[in-house]
Amino acid sequence: MATFNLTINGTSQQVDVDPSTPMLWVLRDHLDLVGTKFGCGIAQCGACTIHMNGNAVRSCQLPVSAAEGASITTIEGLSEQGDHPVQKAWMEHDVPQCGYCQAGQIMTAAALLQQNPNPSDEDIENAMNGNICRCGTYTRIKAAVKTASQNL
């Protein structure tokens, strides 16, 4: 066990955990930020996507020791009122079915638009390809990313 000082959604947090603990479980079990989801544990599904210094990362593969000093954003901190252009576009297109993967999808999309505000279809497909949606809402996800890019 060791103490780690983290900056999550703009707030300083301290946790006392094993250094190997992935951020996914630090967020979910220790900080009660459960919007970040567990899907596969091996960085293959994208359900656990968060932002580290603005980049989309898979929190199941990010040890807490590597997150110290970085600025971490989770779905809960993407916007204060749930009105980030990506979140709004997701609601406008009524994207979710079961909803489980969508926080990860949204975080990936938000990071994409941060770096590339006008992505082409191919850019969107490439960026979103790491996020599995078992319900198959991919066409709506793509449409929502385009809408969000127009409303940045």
Partner 1 sequence: MATLDKKLDRRSFLKVSALAGGGMVLSFSWLAGCKPITEEELLAMPKEWFELNSYIKIGENGAVTLFSPNPEFGSNVKTSMPMILAEELDTDWKKVIVEQADFYPERFDRQFTGGSQGIRQGWKPLRTAGATARAMLVAAAAKTWNVSPTEITTSAGVLEHKGSGKKAHYGEMASLAATMELPEQVTLKETKDFKIVGSSKKNVDAQKIVTGKPLFSIDHKVEGMKYAAIVHPPAFGMKLKSFDKSSIAGMSGIVDVFPIRLFKEDYERNFFDTTTFPEILAIVGNSTWEVMQAKKNLAVEWENASESSFEVGGFGGRPNTKVTVLSGLENTNRHKEQMKEFITKPGNVVRRDGDPEGMFKKAAKIIEKTYSAPFLAHNTMEPMNCFADVKGDKAVIYGPTQAPEMIMGTLVQALGIPKENIQINLARMGGGFGRRAYSHHMTEAALISQKIQAPVKMVYTREDDMTAGVYRPTYSATYRAALDENNNLLALHVKAGGIPESPIHANRFPAGALDNYLAESWDIPSNITIGAFRAPRSNFIAGAEQSFLDELAEVMDKDPIEFRLELLKRAEINPVGENNDYDAKRYAGVLELVREKSNWNTPATGVHRGVSAYFCHNSYVAEVVDTKIVDSKPVVEKVYAAVDCGIVVNPDAATNMGEGAIVDGIGNAFFGELAFENGVPTKTNFDKYRMIRQKETPKSIEIHFVDSKEDPTGLGEPFFPPVFAALANSLYKATGKRYYEQPFAPQLEMQNLKM
Choose, by CB under 8 A, the member of 4, 28, 112, 149 that binds partner 1: 28
DSSP state of 83: -
Interaction of residue 36 with partner 1, rule CB under 8 A:
yes
Choose, by CB under 8 A, the member of 62, 113, 133, 148 that binds partner 1: 133
Residue 129's H or E segment, with its range, is none
Contact of 115 with 133, CB cutoff 8 Å: no
Only segment of 30-38, 51-59, 65-73, 112-120 that touches partner 1 (CB under 8 A): 30-38
Interaction of residue 33 with partner 1, rule CB under 8 A:
yes
| Segments in 41-137 forming alpha helices (H) | 64-67, 85-92, 102-115, 121-128
d(CA 71, CA 55): 10
DSSP state of 75: G
User: Per this entry, what is the length of the chain?
Assistant: 152
Site string for partner 1, 39-78 (x = CB under 8 A): xxxx-xx-x--------------------------xxx-x
Binding residues for partner 1, rule: CB under 8 A, are 1, 17-18, 20-22, 25, 28-30, 32-42, 44-45, 47, 74-76, 78, 82, 87, 90-91, 94-103, 106, 121, 124-126, 128-142
